Structure 1
Amino acid sequence: MISIRTFLSGLIAWTVLFVSCDDGRIPEKDINISEKGRVVKLVGDISGLDNWPLKYRITIAGFNSASNYAETSARIMPPSDGKHVEVIMGGIADDVETLELCAIDAMSTRIMTFESMEAPATTDTIVFDVGTLDLSMFAVIQDHLFTPTCANCHGGGSGNPAGNLNLMPGKSYVSLVDEASHKLPDVKRVQPGNAEESLLYQVVMEQHEGWGYNHYGLLTQTPVLRTIIKDWIDGGASR
């Protein structure tokens, strides 16, 4: 027969063994959490982001050559302190070929690109430094229309800009907004809040005779600028 002392000793030993083998904790498993795709960090000093109507979104976006729709995008909000912007966007798929600082619409369709870079295949964070930019609507119109195209006649090296209208940087705004046309004194070149009554919008929207130049044709390559000009004027034509 087993003595009570022997029985109790065995019971204690068995209890200690059981507790040491099962302390109530679930054994940890190796969990590998990783974000699929590449990561980009956009940095720069950007002003004018709050100048656009809600139908546009200023974003960093990824595109491939087969589509005009952003594969992925991250909205760039106006910085609360100064102009410095830092935006991190992950999940960039393998088929994304370019990264762009651009305006897109509610359907993520590319409207206009301001800066772009190739999307390298890398495991490191891609740094997209866009430098210092003014992305106000008027600055975009200046940079994409007035300076490269219109200033050839309306400014440039000529001492007498066509129609007494100077569209050079630093001169164009005061020459346009609330200013009467030299050719049609009863019409303002830009009437804030009313694009339809503004001569600037009229000449880029319609075939005007008697101007000596087809201004409508200036935007055949970038017709989206017609919409941007209209939205800028209707929104108050701010600088």
Structure 2
Amino acid sequence: MMKYLYKSMKIRIFAFAAIAVLLLAACDDGRIYNEVAVDTTGQSARLTATITGLDHWTDNYTVSLAGFAEGDDYASISKAVRANADGQVSMTLNNIPDQVTSVRLCVLDRLRRNVVTFSEVATEGVRDTIRLELGTVDASMLNAIQQGYLNTTCANCHGASNHAAAGLNLTAGKSYAALVGVASRKVEGHQLVAPGNAAESVLHMVLHNEHVEGISMNHFDLVSEKNAELILPLIDSWIDGGAEQ
């Protein structure tokens, strides 16, 4: 009886071994597969700078070193910028795809769209490392709004030509004091920018509505479709986050 059991067990062991060999042979086509493909091709970009204002950003945005294809607002590759306690940044963006035509120090939203660009370098003709040696950069939310909207649109009437419409100067270095916590002279009971409350801020009202009681000019018409998608949410996020300087 014991001899029979031993023989039966031996047969089963050989059978299992044979099945395992057949399965391995069927699966092995001679190639080695990696779980994650690592791209080691492409250029590299090196950023060195002293960057301030990184800690002012809300979770909806990331200050990044990013590469963009021509005509595309969505980053092909990006890496979040991190500074040490002194604001020093020294970082490298590797494996930049061939289709990238520019590398930017910029602000990306959650969809990796370029909201505001602080600095940009073209990649064409650069055979070595792409270098962004930028000195000191103010990368705060306020400065992003200043560069991305106030300078290009609002300041044309509010301070850029030595005339500040309605006594409101929105040029760089003066816009914060003119807006934040300042009671509106035309919209009763509201501040121009009420920290923590974008919806009740006059700045939000005039940029989102065709008509605001007490305001004669239609500022809404000056908002482009692109700014409506990218800059206005940035302004609201800044205000709701406390409108920090």
**TM-score bucket of the superposed structures, by smaller chain:** 0.7 to 0.9
Asked if 1 retains the 8 angstrom alpha-carbon contact of 2:145 and 2:235, the reply is: yes
Asked if 2 retains the 8 angstrom alpha-carbon contact of 1:163 and 1:183, the reply is: no
Choose from 107, 111, 121 the match for 2:111: 107
Query: C-alpha separation between the residues in 2 aligned to 1:65 and 1:143?
Result: 22
CA gap 1:147/1:106 in 2 versus in 1, 3 angstroms: closer
Q: How does 1:108-123 map to 2 (within 5 A)?
A: 108-120=112-124, 122-123=126-127
Shift of 1:123: 4.5
Query: C-alpha separation between the residues in 2 aligned to 1:89 and 1:166?
Result: 39
Choose from 171, 175, 192 the match for 1:172: 175
CA gap 1:71/1:152 in 2 versus in 1, 3 angstroms: closer
Equivalent residue number for residue 39 of structure 1: 44
Equivalent residue number for residue 203 of structure 1: 206
Choose from 221, 232, 237 the match for 1:226: 232
Shift of 1:143: 2.2
Cα RMSD, aligned residues only:
2.1
Q: How does 1:1-239 map to 2 (within 5 A)?
A: 35-65=40-70, 67-77=72-82, 79-120=83-124, 122-158=126-162, 161-208=164-211, 211-220=215-224, 221-223=226-228, 224-239=230-245
Shift of 1:179: 1.0
Q: Which one-letter code corresponds to 1:127 in the other structure?
A: R
Equivalent residue number for residue 19 of structure 2: none
Three-state SS of the structure 2 residue aligned to 1:155 is: coil
Query: C-alpha separation between the residues in 2 aligned to 1:131 and 1:219?
Result: 32
CA gap 1:190/1:122 in 2 versus in 1, 3 angstroms: closer
Q: TM-score, normalised by structure 2?
A: 0.75
Asked if 1 retains the 8 angstrom alpha-carbon contact of 2:116 and 2:144, the reply is: no
Three-state SS of the structure 1 residue aligned to 2:48 is: strand
Unaligned 5+ residue runs, structure 2?
1-38
Three-state SS of the structure 1 residue aligned to 2:244 is: coil
Equivalent pairs counted in the alignment come to 204
Asked if 2 retains the 8 angstrom alpha-carbon contact of 1:46 and 1:133, the reply is: yes
Shift of 1:66: 5.8
Asked if 1 retains the 8 angstrom alpha-carbon contact of 2:65 and 2:79, the reply is: yes
Which of these two proteins has the greater Rg computed from alpha carbons? 1
Q: Which one-letter code corresponds to 1:175 in the other structure?
A: A
Identity %: 36
Q: TM-score, normalised by structure 1?
A: 0.77
Query: C-alpha separation between the residues in 2 aligned to 1:130 and 1:37?
Result: 23
Three-state SS of the structure 2 residue aligned to 1:148 is: coil
CA gap 1:156/1:102 in 2 versus in 1, 3 angstroms: closer
Higher helix share: 2
Query: C-alpha separation between the residues in 2 aligned to 1:173 and 1:68?
Result: 28
Shift of 1:192: 0.6
Unaligned 5+ residue runs, structure 1?
1-33
